[in-house]
Structure 1
Amino acid sequence: MDERKRDSMVAYLRRRMAEVGIEPDDLAAAIAEDQLKQKTARYRSATGEIWSGDGEMPQWLKQAISAGQSLEHFAVEHAAPAAPAMTETRTKVDWSQDPFAGSRLAAAQPSHRDT
């Protein structure tokens, strides 16, 4: 994603958060809560549904297994790779499949930018 698209996305998200009354602290708390849930998850679907392995197997997993998928396919690997150190320069990423490319969102200009 080029810098202009990134700035447009950030501006759009900030406007939407302000419109619905979401504060950055609310967002940070929600992300932290999700991360705690993710750590206890033993199985995860492609849509983000999780199961700890305790209690009754959820319907999404029952259906997948009935369709022939293995339980191991949904197993969560807890050994996540270490995050790379932050650098001053951004790494280049191929965003050719950007879902916002060509949309109003990608074309929106930030209302202001600090220099």
Structure 2
Amino acid sequence: MDERKRDGMVAYLCRRMAEVGIELDDLAAAIAEDKIKQKAARYRSATGEIWSGEGEMPQWLKQAASAGQSLEHFAVERRPAQAMTEARPKVDWSQDPFAGSRLAAVQPSHLNL
């Protein structure tokens, strides 16, 4: 998004917030609460709906379970971001003639010839 569009969007949001009486502190509190909820999430749908695992199971998860999907499919992994990047294999793409195309693929370590 270019700077002019961004500035226009910020001005619009400030006007709308003033119209309905939302203060910046209210917005900051809502964002902080959402982050806490996201961290507490044990299950997440593809559309971003979450459930902590407490209380009644939400409708989206009931429907998925009744359709045969397991709860584990929706489980949120609890690995730190750093561990996730370390788990990826390091690949030297400089010698790959297909680098950047959809033909480029990482070969599993058991197939290295």
Tell me the TM-score range normalised by the shorter chain.
0.5 to 0.7
What's the counterpart of residue 40 of structure 1?
40
- Structure 2 distance, partners of 1:55, 1:20, is 32
Identity of aligned residues (%): 84
Structure 1 residues 9 and 79: CA distance shift in structure 2, 3 A: farther
User: Which of the pair is proportionally richer in helix?
Assistant: 2
Q: Which has the larger radius of gyration?
A: 2
Q: TM-score, normalised by structure 1?
A: 0.60
Q: State the Cα deviation string for residues 22-49 of structure 1 (Å, max 9, x = none).
A: 1100000011111111111101223433
Q: State the Cα deviation string for residues 67-99 of structure 1 (Å, max 9, x = none).
A: 3433233222333536xxxxxxxxxxxxxxxxx
- Structure 2 distance, partners of 1:7, 1:66, is 46
Structure 1 residues 4 and 73: CA distance shift in structure 2, 3 A: farther
Q: Is the contact between residue 39 and residue 78 of structure 1 (CA under 8 Å) also seen in structure 2? A: no
Q: Which has the higher contact order (CA 8 A, sep 6+)?
A: 1
Q: Secondary structure at the match of 1:53?
A: coil
C-alpha RMSD over aligned residues: 2.0
Q: TM-score, normalised by structure 2?
A: 0.61
Gaps of 5+ in 2: 83-113
Gaps of 5+ in 1: 83-115
Question: What is the total number of aligned residue pairs between the two structures?
Answer: 82
How do 1:61-80 residues align onto structure 2 when only pairs under 5 Å count?
61-80=61-80
For 1:77, the aligned partner's letter is E
The answer as to 2:60 corresponding to 1:60 is yes
